[in-house]
Amino acid sequence: DAGVTQSPTHLIKTRGQHVTLRCSPISGHKSVSWYQQVLGQGPQFIFQYYEKEERGRGNFPDRFSARQFPNYSSELNVNALLLGDSALYLCASSLGVGTSGYNEQFFGPGTRLTVL
Amino acid sequence: AQTVTQSQPEMSVQEAETVTLSCTYDTSENNYYLFWYKQPPSRQMILVIRQEAYKQQNATENRFSVNFQKAAKSFSLKISDSQLGDTAMYFCAFMKPPGGSEKLVFGKGTKLTVNP
* Complete domains list, chain B, with CATH: 3-115 (2.60.40.10)
Does residue A8 have a cis bond before it (omega within 30 degrees)?
yes
| Backbone φ and ψ of B2, nearest 5° | -85, 145
The residue of A32, A38, A48 whose CB has the most chain B CBs within 10 angstroms, and thus the best one to mutate to test that interface, is A48
Q: What is the pLDDT of residue A101?
A: 65
Among B12, B26, B10, B86, CA closest to A40? B10
pLDDT reading at B50 higher than 80: yes
Among A105, A76, A109, A110, CA closest to A93? A105
Question: Closest-CA residue in chain B for A88?
Answer: B43
Give the number of other CB atoms < 10 A from CB of residue B105: 22
The B residues from 40 to 69 touching A (CB cutoff 8 Å) are 42-47, 50, 52
Q: Quick one: pLDDT band at residue B101, thresholds 50, 70, 90?
A: confident
Segment B7-34 mean pLDDT: 95
The mean of the pLDDT values for chain A is: 93
Task: Tell if the CB–CB gap between A42 and B101 is shorter than 8 Å.
Answer: no
Q: Which of A90, A98, A101 sits opposite B45 (nearest CB)?
A: A90
Contacts of A66 (CB under 8 A, 6+ apart): A34, A46, A47, A49, A54, A74, A75, A76, A77
**Higher-scoring residue by pLDDT: B43, B14:** B14
The residue of B3, B21, B90, B103 whose CB has the most chain A CBs within 10 angstroms, and thus the best one to mutate to test that interface, is B103
Query: What residues in B contact A108, CB-CB < 8 Å?
Result: 44
Candidate from A12-21, A49-58, A71-80, B8-17 with smallest mean pLDDT? A49-58
- Tell me if chain A has a CB within 8 Å of the CB of B73: no
Segment B40-65 mean pLDDT: 92
Q: What is the pLDDT of residue B2?
A: 86
Task: Tell if the CB–CB gap between A110 and B43 is shorter than 8 Å.
Answer: yes
Rg of chain B's alpha carbons, rounded to an integer?
14
Q: What is the pLDDT of residue B105?
A: 95
Q: Quick one: pLDDT band at residue B25, thresholds 50, 70, 90?
A: very high
Assigned fold of A5-96+105-115: Immunoglobulin-like (2.60.40)
Is the CB of residue B97 less than 8 Å from the CB of residue B110?
no
pLDDT reading at A58 higher than 90: yes
* Alpha carbon distance B24, B38 (integer Å): 17
**Higher-scoring residue by pLDDT: B31, B101:** B31
B/e letters for B39-67, b = 16+ CB within 10 Å, e = fewer, are: beeebbbeebbbbbbeeeeebeeeebbbe
Task: Tell if the CB–CB gap between A108 and B104 is shorter than 8 Å.
Answer: no
Task: Tell if the CB–CB gap between A97 and B46 is shorter than 8 Å.
Answer: no
The mean of the pLDDT values for chain B is: 94
Q: Quick one: pLDDT band at residue B56, thresholds 50, 70, 90?
A: confident
Domain ranges of chain A: 5-96+105-115
Task: Tell if the CB–CB gap between B47 and A110 is shorter than 8 Å.
Answer: no
